[in-house]
A and B are shown apart, each in its own frame.
Chain A
Amino acid sequence: MAAAAAIALAATACGSSSGGGGAGAMGPGFDLASKQILNPSTKTGGTINLVTSQTFDSIDPGVTYSAPTWNLYRTFARTMMAYQHTPGGNQIVGDLAAGPGVQSNGGKTWTYTLREGATFEDGKNITSADVRWAIERSNWSSLIGNGPTYFRSILTPPNDPKFKNLDVYKDGDKAFDNIIVTTDPKKIVFNLPQAFGEFDLVMTEPQTAPVEKDKDTAAGDAYSKRPISTGAYKIATYSPGKELKLVRNDAYNQNSDPDKMHVALADAIDVQLGVDSAERDQRLLTGEADADIGSALTVANHAKVLQDPVLKSQIDDAPDNSIAYASINTQLISNLDCRQAIEYGVDKGTVLNQLGGQWGGEIAGNLLPKGIPGAAEFSTYDYSLPKAQASLAKCKTEAPALFTDGKLSFKIAAQVNAPDMQNAATAIQSSLAAVGIDTEVKLYPFGQYAQYCGNQEYARAHKLGMCLANWLPDWLSGYGMLDQLVTKNGISATSGQNYAFLDDPIINDLEKQALASTEATTQQQDWVKIDHRVMDLAAMVPLTHRHIMRFRSARLTNVMINQAGSGGYDLSVLGLK
C-alpha cells in the first residue's frame, strides 16, 4: 500500500442522520476501539454509510494496492489466510484455508488445505485451482503493474527465461504445474525455489482470493468492474471514482467459516469515494457518515472533537503501525560521524509537534513499531546538541570533502501535499542549523516522490541528503517493514523505496537468514538485529510511530481497530444498532 496512505471514509445517503447514531448520540468512549469490542451485537439490518477522500485504484482484489481497498475487499473477497477479528489484533488464522501452511523441504514447500463448503456468489464450489488462477493472473499477465508482486518474486524460478514475459491469459499456465500444485481440488501446494519463512503472511494478500477462470474473460477486464464475490457481501454497483455499493451475499456458506471471519450484519454497505477531506469530516461529525476506513480527521477538527464530550466519545487515536521517518542518503553523506551528527541533532520533540503533537503519534527511536511481533523499542540516539556538534567536528576532520565553505550542506525533501511533513522538515532544518548543518527544504509531488528520493543519480546531483516519508507495511512483520526501506531490494535505478541507498552486506545477509528460517522467534530476532544495525549505521532518523485520529458513529456495532482493518476499523464485522 502506498506509504503515505491517507484515507477517509464515511458514508453518505440522503437523510442518513436519522439513523440515530451520529452527532448528538453518546459513543462508547474515547480511544477504546483498539482495546475492546465496542457495542457488541448480533443485530442485523440497515445500511452502513462509509466515505473516503481517496478513490479506489481497482476493486479487482488481484490488482488493488491502495489502503482503502485493502481494508474493504475483506468484505467481499476471501483470502487463504486472514487477520483475526480481535481488538488491536495482528494474529493471522486460516480463512479459506483450514489453517496455516504446513512447511516441508526446509521451508521450500508449503501446503494448504481448503475449507469444505466455500462457494462463489454464483454457488460454484471454490477449489484450489481457483486460488492458483487468482495468483497466476495477478502476477504473470497484462494485469501486472499496479498490484504487489510478492508471489512473482517468491515463486518465479531464478534465471528461467520462460517466465520473463509470460502472460497466462495468452500462453496458458502449464509452466506452474510443478510450482503451484492443485491436483487435489481441496489442497494447494507451493514449491518455492528458495525458502521464504513468511509465506503464511503473503497468503493474507487479496491476490489469494479465488477467481473463476471461465468467468475471468477478456484478459481480466470482466473482473475489473465486477469481481465475483467469495465473501459475505457482494458488489451491487460500482461507479469508479464515485460510489461502491455492497449488499449481502446470500450464497455465502457460514458453515465454511467456523471462525466467523465474515459476517454480514448490515444488509448493505455504501461507500462514497473521492469526497474532499473537509466535507468528509463534516459528514462524519453530523452523523451523515458512519466511519472512515483509514485516514485521520483533519487537524482543524481535532480541537472541536476533543472539547465536546459527545464527539470525544466517538473518536479513537490508535497507532496504525506506520512510521514517519527521515532517511539519510548514505551515498551522499558517506561518513558515519556526519550521519550521527544528524541523528543526535534532530530535536524530535519539535518534529512531533508538527506531526499532530500527542495525537499524531509517539517519538520513535527505532524503525520497527510495537505492533510487529517480536519488535523491541530502543533509542540509539537521544537528542543532544553537544554530541551532535562533537560528531560533526570529528566528521569534518575525517571527511573534509563533504563540507562546502566549511559547512555540511544538503537538501531535505518533503511531499507537496503533506503540510505536516513539510513543517516537520522545517523543524529538522532548524534543529540542524543549531548544530551548524546548512539545509534547504525542497518539495516534491506525492505521486512522483520515489522518482526523486529513490533515484540515486538525481539524489546525488541535487544533494538530496534527507527525505521525509511515511511507511505502512503491507503486513506486520520485519520483512513488511524493512525489506523495501533498508535492504538492497529497495534500491532500483529510477524509483526505489530505499531512500538511504543503504546496501549493507550484514543487513542483506541477516534478511536472507530471517527469510530462510522456519522458526518465528529466530526470524523476529533477525529483524530486530537489522533494526539495530540500521541505527548503528545512522541511515534513518525514525521520527514518530504514528497515531491516527478516527471518528465512528455511535450507531455502529462490533467496532474494533486491528490489522484486519489495515490498522483502521475492521469493516468485515461491523453492524448497526
Chain B
Amino acid sequence: MTTFLIRRAVTALVLMLGVAVVTFAVFYVVPALGGRTTDQLAAQFAGRGAGPDQLTAIKHRLGLDQSVFVQFWDYLKALVVGADLPPGSGASHCAAPCFGYSWRLHDSVLTLILDRLPVTVSVAVGAAVLWLTLGVASGAVAAVTRGGLADRAVRVAALLGVCLPVVFIGPLARAKLAWLFPSVTYSSFLSNPLMWADHLFLPWITLSLGYFALYTRLTRSGMIDALSGQFIRTAHAKGLPRRRVIWQALRVTFPAVATVFAMDLGLLLGGAVLTEKIYGLHGIGALAQDAVEGQDLPVVLGVTLFSGLFIVVANFAVDAAYAVLDPRIRVS
C-alpha cells in the first residue's frame, strides 16, 4: 500500500509539473510567438497614455523583464520557498506555497483561491448531491421498468437535461423563478444552512441538470447489463427477495458511477465557470474567467494548478473507492 501511495504521489507531482509547463507556455510563450511583446502586455496594466518609463516600471514589477525560463523557474521556486515582491506590487512578500501574486487584484493567488473556495465547494457539492441521488435513483427505476412508462419518462427527462445547456437554463431559471428564489448569493453554511441552501438552489439545479442526464443513462445501462447477468438469475432462482436482487444489480454499477463522479466533482471543484458567472457568484471559476479576460496570468496559472490538484486527488479517491465498492478488485 505504501509503495502504491508513493508511486501515485510521484505520478501526481510529474503530472502537476506538466500542467504548469503547458499552462505557462500557453499564456506566456505562445502569445510572444504570435508577435505580442512584453511592452504590449505591460501596457494593459498601465493607464492611458503611459510613457516608456512607466512601461519599464510595470515590466519590472510583473517580472516581464526576465526571460521566460527565469520567470518559470522563479514561479516554481516560489511554490516551495515563497518570493519577495518588487515595490508597487501591493505586498512585499508572498509566502510559500506561493502560487503567484495577482497583477490586477494585488493579492496572493492562494489567498484569492482560498477566499473563493467555499463558494465553489458549495455550488459543486450541492449540485453533486442532487444529480447523484436523482440520477442514480431514476436510472435504477428506468432499468427496472425497462420499456415501461417510467423508463420512457426518465429517458425523456435525461434527453432534456442534455439538450438544455447551462447558458440557456441558467438565465431562464433566474428570470422565471425569481418569484420563488429572489436572491442568488453565497452566505456561509455555518451561519445559516437554510439561507445557504435557499440562495444556492438555482445554481444547483442549473448545474445538475446536464449531469443528471449523464448519471441516469450510466446507471440505467449498467443496471440493464447487470440484471441480465447470470448471478442475478441465480439469485432469483434461489428465491432472494426482489428488492435485494435489485440492490445487488445496482451495486455492480457503483464502480463505474463512482469513477465518473469523482472526476466530475474534481473538475467542478476547480470552478463551475458558467454557473458562477451567470449567477454572479464569486467562485474559483469566475476568478479564472476574470483572470483570462484581464490577462492576469499568475491567477490563470494558479487556478489551473489548483484545479489540476483536485483532479489528481479525485483520481486517487477513485482508486481507493474501487477497492471498497467492488470486492473483486480487493481480492485481485
Cα of A223 to Cα of B8 in the assembled complex, Å: 45
Instruction: State A90–B278 Cα separation when bound (angstroms).
Output: 37
Q: Is the CB of B183 within 8 A of A14?
A: yes
> Does A161 touch B at the CB level, under 8 Å?
no
Quick check: which of A351-359, A446-454, A527-535 contacts chain B, the rest being far away?
A446-454
The answer to whether A142 touches B87 (Cβ under 8 A) is yes
* CB closest chain-B residue, reference A417: B293
B112 to A240, Cβ gap below 8 A? Answer: yes
Whole-angstrom CA separation of A133 from B204 in the bound complex: 51
Binds B, one of A268-276, A309-317, A430-438: A268-276
Contact count band on B: 35 or more
Q: Decide: A219 and B88 in contact? CB cutoff 8 A.
A: yes
Closest residue to B86 on the A side, CB-wise? A142
**B175 at the A/B interface (Cβ < 8 Å)?**
yes
Main secondary structure of the interface of A (DSSP, over half): loop
Whether A142 lies near B183 (C-beta < 8 A) is: no
Interface residue from B39, B88, B282 paired with A242 (Cβ < 8 Å):
B282
B97 contacts A by Cβ under 8 Å: no
Chain B residues near A275 (CB-CB < 8 A): 280
Contact A447 B44 (CB under 8 A): yes
Closest to A10 in B: B280
Contact A14-B90, Cβ < 8 Å, known A144-B54, A146-B45: no
Q: Is the CB of A497 within 8 A of B105?
A: no
Q: Is A279 in contact with B279, judged by CB distance below 8 angstroms?
A: yes
Cβ of B155 under 8 Å from chain A: no
Return B118 CB to nearest CB of chain A, in Å. Answer: 12
Known contacts A278-B171, A450-B48; A239 and B115 CB within 8 A of each other: yes
B71 on the A face (CB < 8 A): no
A residues near B46, Cβ cutoff 8 Å: 145-146
Which stretch of A322-330, A360-368, A392-400, A487-495 is in the interface? Answer: A487-495
Are B182 and A17 in contact, with the CB atoms below 8 A?
Answer: yes
Is A240 a contact of B106 with CB atoms below 8 Å?
yes
A302 to chain B, nearest CB (A): 15
Considering only residues 34-93 of chain B, those with a C-beta below 8 Å from chain A are 39-40, 43-54, 57-58, 61, 86-92
- Nearest-neighbour CB distance to chain B for A220, whole angstroms, equals 6
**Which candidate, A176-184, A280-288, A509-517, is the interface stretch facing chain B?**
A280-288
CB atoms of A14 and B185 under 8 A apart: yes
**A383 on the B face (CB < 8 A):** no
List 12 contacting pairs A-B, 8 Å CB cutoff, sorted by A: A3-B48, A12-B183, A14-B185, A144-B88, A149-B54, A221-B89, A240-B107, A243-B282, A276-B279, A278-B171, A282-B174, A492-B49
Which positions in B face A, CB cutoff 8 Å? 39-40, 43-54, 57-58, 61, 86-92, 102, 104-107, 112, 115-116, 171, 174-175, 178, 182-185, 187, 195, 199, 277-280, 282, 286-287, 290, 294-295
Beyond contacts A146-B45, A451-B40: 10 other A-B pairs, Cβ-Cβ < 8 A, are A144-B88, A145-B45, A218-B87, A219-B87, A220-B87, A225-B106, A276-B278, A447-B44, A447-B294, A497-B49
Pairs of residues from A and B, 7 with the lowest C-beta to C-beta distance, nearest first:
A142-B88, A219-B87, A240-B105, A275-B280, A142-B87, A279-B280, A224-B90
